[in-house]
Amino acid sequence: MTLQGKTALITGSLTGIGRGIAEAMAQSGANIILNGINTQEEAENTRQELEQKMGCKILYYKADVGNVQEVSTMISDAQQKMGSLDILVNNAGIQHIESIESFPIEKWDAIIATNLSSAFYTIRAVLPFMKEKKWGRIINIASVHGLVASAYKSAYVAAKHGLVGLTKAAALDVASFGITVNAICPGYVDTPLVRQQIPEQAKARNMSEDEVIPQVLLAHHAIKEFVTVEQIAAMTIYLCSDACKTLTGTALSLDAGWSAQ
Ligand code: NAD
């Protein structure tokens, strides 16, 4: 699969899954728009390193994806500089683990903004460019928590279920324009987001941090392994291929058998 001549925006792409997707897409020949909440200076090393390693054009935008104005400025500027915007991967996400009655309101608002409203803002902003070219691929990194729930994750589960719903609705809106919209629903992946959950999970469940990986994180994986960043990145590349021209509006489980139970 070649993405030569395509430009891909991946939100939250300085670390974890987003970084892996950016690298894989660059390796397939795409020009890349990185995004995150780090300053331009903080991101410059990563940007340069990827550009040198992959030999493609890479831009970085500091933009809070939960802020509609910052999203629209990033997308219009990046499209102008790159000349096109063909692939959008909504990946940025945050988490907070706490029981519902003490769950802080500001954490709820931040998770809904970052994990759900963000995708509405980015999709709205990229569609005019994709419609003009009659080609586009939109991939939302949801979660197995877009399909099933776990305790102490009310905001995250609500946002990810919403993201799966948005995926279906957007897919139908744009079906006649050569644009597909799909969600990927991973189980646990060993990234900074998950490492940060270990003390929170231990506190919420009154267990030791050592017990969290086998007893909580991998408890529902039928295959007792973490999903990897590389597996998710490979799925995003596949979704960009012609083989997936009619694959749209789906929520693809990549969850080691979790949601089969
Ligand atoms: P991560 O923390 O490594 O990556 C998230 C990235 O988003 C970070 O680089 C962060 O700086 C960025 N970000 C946070 N808030 C932002 C904002 N307001 N604007 C722009 N960027 C912002 O975590 P990850 O595990 O790589 O998660 C990536 C996505 O995958 C998330 O949407 C997450 O919900 C989803 N996911 C992760 C797992 C997992 O087990 N790690 C499982 C299923 C789904």
Query: pTM score, two decimals?
Result: 0.97
Is 201 in contact with 215 (CB distance < 8 Å)?
no
Residue 1 has pLDDT above 80, yes or no: no
- Lowest-pLDDT range of 194-198, 229-233, 240-244: 194-198
> What ranges make up the beta strands (E) of 110-198?
136-141, 179-186
Domain spans of the chain, in order of start: 7-187+228-254, 188-226
Is residue 156 among the annotated active site residues?
yes
- What pLDDT is attached to residue 123? 98
91 C-alpha to ligand 1 centroid (Å): 6
User: Counting Cβ atoms within 10 Å, is residue 7 exposed (0-12), middle (13-18) or buried (19+)?
Assistant: buried
| pLDDT tens figures, 92-141 | 999 999 999 999 999 999 999 999 999 999 999 999 999 999 999 999 99
Q: Atom 19 in ligand 1: which residue has the minimum CA distance?
A: 64
Phi, psi for residue 200 in degrees, rounded to 5:
-65, -40
Query: With the CA atoms of 43, 48, 49 and 55 taken in that order, what torsion angle do they form, in degrees rounded to the nearest 10?
Result: 140
Q: Residue 196 CA: which ligand 1 atom is closest?
A: 2
Q: Kindly state the tokens that stand for 105.
A: 């309101």
| Crossing angle (nearest 10°) for helices 16-27 and 229-239 | 50
63 C-alpha to ligand 1 centroid (Å): 14
Q: Residue 192 CA: which ligand 1 atom is closest?
A: 3
Distances (CA, A) of 131 to 140, 175, 234: 18, 10, 25
**How distant is the alpha carbon of residue 234 from its chain centre?**
14
- What pLDDT is attached to residue 185? 98
Given the residues 61, 152, 156, 188, the one annotated as active site:
156
| pLDDT tens figures, 8-31 | 999 999 999 999 999 999 999 999
Q: Atom 44 in ligand 1: which residue has the minimum CA distance?
A: 143
Ligand 1 site residues, Cβ closer than 6 angstroms: 11-12, 14-18, 35-37, 64-66, 91-94, 114-115, 141, 143, 186, 188-189, 191-194
Is the CATH code 3.40.50.720 the one for domain 7-187+228-254? yes
- What pLDDT is attached to residue 192? 86
176 C-alpha to ligand 1 centroid (Å): 31
DSSP annotation of 115 reads I
93 C-alpha to ligand 1 centroid (Å): 4
